């Protein structure tokens, strides 16, 4: 019975103050919806940024040859550093906390398919490179380890590069000419969402064995060195150990970071995760403030409603008290009247009795 009366009173109050009720519901709805949308937006944006950043590779560190800025071992500052393939072998043999290391070189080659010639940026890579840099063929396969060892002329194409060369036709199994040499297309990558890159996006690249690349360019030494530590927590130690090996071989101070500029994707990934956490926190605070503003509006509306109901209740109590006082007053007046009437009658009776006794005494 009490619940039914409560529902009826609530419905009556809502109908009596329609505008106030609509504003209250809008305030609550807007606060909740804005909070949910902002948190969802922050989560989606942060996840997309992390995914696009992590597609660069799995805890990869890239070293480029630079120029010394310190004097070391009797060598002058300002000397240019040129990597040698023996640097790759020394890092692989001497640094146990590095899981994989690969040489890399980059150049533009003309890819001829039929009568079409398309310029594609091509990377010469070693076998560990594909796993480190997330180069995976969605159609066909990756270059196998035996093909690296035998210097087989095979190529894996990025998705956009395959479309440019073959105009949307199937690429796997086709043959292209690179500097007059025939290459078999063994794989084509899927579309790769990539926000972090060097030397261009992987979607527009071609990947061939490193030794085959050197044969095409008459080169011997790598342009870059890529390696991966056994654990992301050891990225700083792995970088220092690799610089120690290269510094010893090329006679420069390992602390001279300008001699071997690096890109530590582990460190940049940590920065991006901190950024996304901060973004989530900021959007959460904004959503909470929006919900709080809506809550303040609801509180004000409820305060007005309670104040009005309080005044109505006070009026009802005042009217009831006045009615009770008037009834009491009328009852008290009637009591006095009857008491006075009784006293008058008693006086009159006593008077008549006294007059009758006096008359008898006279007679």
Beta strands 116-125 and 205-209, pairing class? parallel
What one-character DSSP code corresponds to residue 142?
A: P
Phi, psi of 340, rounded to the nearest 5 degrees: -70, -40
Q: What is the pLDDT of residue 315?
A: 63
Inter-CA distances, 75 with 22, 64, 250, 252, Å: 80, 20, 10, 8
Which one has a higher pLDDT value, 326 or 249?
A: 249
Map out the domains of the chain as residue ranges. Answer: 1-54+265-294, 61-260
Distance CA 108, CA 177 (A): 13
CA nearest neighbour of 104 among 230, 243, 185, 217: 217
Name the DSSP class of 203: G
Q: Is the pLDDT of residue 346 over 80?
A: no
Give residue 357's pLDDT band: very low, low, confident or very high (50, 70, 90).
very low
- Residue 328: pLDDT band (50, 70, 90) is very low
The pLDDT of residue 253 is: 87
Three-class DSSP category at 262: strand
Residue 196 DSSP symbol: S
Across 90-94, average pLDDT: 93
Mean pLDDT of the chain: 80
Packing angle between helix 2-16 and helix 18-54, nearest 10 degrees?
90
| pLDDT value for 93 | 93
**pLDDT tens digits for 105-148?**
999 999 999 888 999 999 999 999 999 998 999 999 999 999 99
Which of 143, 113, 149 has its CA nearest to residue 130? 143
What's the first-to-final CA gap in the chain, in angstroms?
84
Residue that wins the pLDDT comparison between 183 and 253: 183
Task: Give, as one character, the DSSP assignment of residue 72.
Answer: B
- DSSP assignment string, 77-141: TTPBP---HHHHHHHHHH-TTEEEEEEEEEEEEEEEETTEEEEEEEEEE-TTHHHHHT--EEEE-
Q: Looking at residue 38, what is its pLDDT?
A: 73
């Amino acid at each position: 019975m009490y619940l039914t009366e409560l529902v009826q009173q609530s419905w009556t109050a809502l109908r009596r103050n329609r505008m106030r009720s609509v504003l209250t519901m809008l305030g609550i709805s807007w606060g909740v919806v804005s909070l949910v949308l902002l948190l969802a937006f922050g989560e989606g944006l942060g996840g997309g940024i992390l995914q696009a950043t992590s597609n660069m590779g799995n805890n990869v560190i890239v070293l480029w040859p630079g120029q010394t800025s310190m004097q070391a071992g009797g060598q002058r500052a300002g000397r240019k550093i040129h990597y040698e393939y023996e640097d790759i072998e020394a890092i692989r043999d001497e640094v146990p906390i590095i899981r994989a290391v690969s040489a890399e070189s980059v150049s533009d080659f003309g890819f001829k398919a039929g009568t079409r010639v398309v310029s594609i940026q091509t990377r010469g890579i070693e076998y560990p490179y594909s796993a480190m840099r997330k180069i995976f063929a969605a159609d066909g396969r990756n270059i196998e380890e035996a093909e690296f060892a035998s210097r087989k002329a095979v190529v894996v194409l990025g998705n956009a590069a395959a479309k440019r060369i073959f105009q949307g036709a199937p690429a796997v199994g086709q043959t292209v000419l690179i500097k007059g040499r025939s290459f078999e297309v063994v794989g084509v990558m899927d579309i790769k969402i990539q926000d972090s890159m060097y030397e261009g996006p992987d979607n527009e690249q071609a990947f061939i064995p490193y030794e085959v690349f050197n044969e095409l360019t008459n080169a011997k030494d790598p342009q870059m060195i890529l390696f991966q530590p056994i654990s992301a927590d050891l990225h700083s130690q792995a970088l220092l150990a690799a610089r120690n090996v290269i510094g010893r071989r090329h006679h420069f101070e390992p602390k001279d970071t300008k001699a071997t500029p690096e890109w530590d994707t582990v460190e940049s990934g940590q920065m991006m995760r901190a950024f996304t956490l901060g973004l989530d926190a900021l959007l959460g605070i904004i959503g909470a403030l929006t919900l709080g503003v809506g809550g303040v509006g609801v509180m004000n509306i409820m305060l007005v409603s309670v104040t009005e109901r309080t005044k109505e209740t006070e009026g009802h109590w005042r009217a009831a008290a006045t009615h009770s006082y008037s009834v009491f007053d009328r009852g008290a007046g009637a009591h006095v009247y009857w008491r006075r009437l009784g006293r008058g009658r008693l006086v009159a009776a006593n008077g008549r009795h006294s007059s009758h006794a006096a008359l008898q005494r006279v007679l």
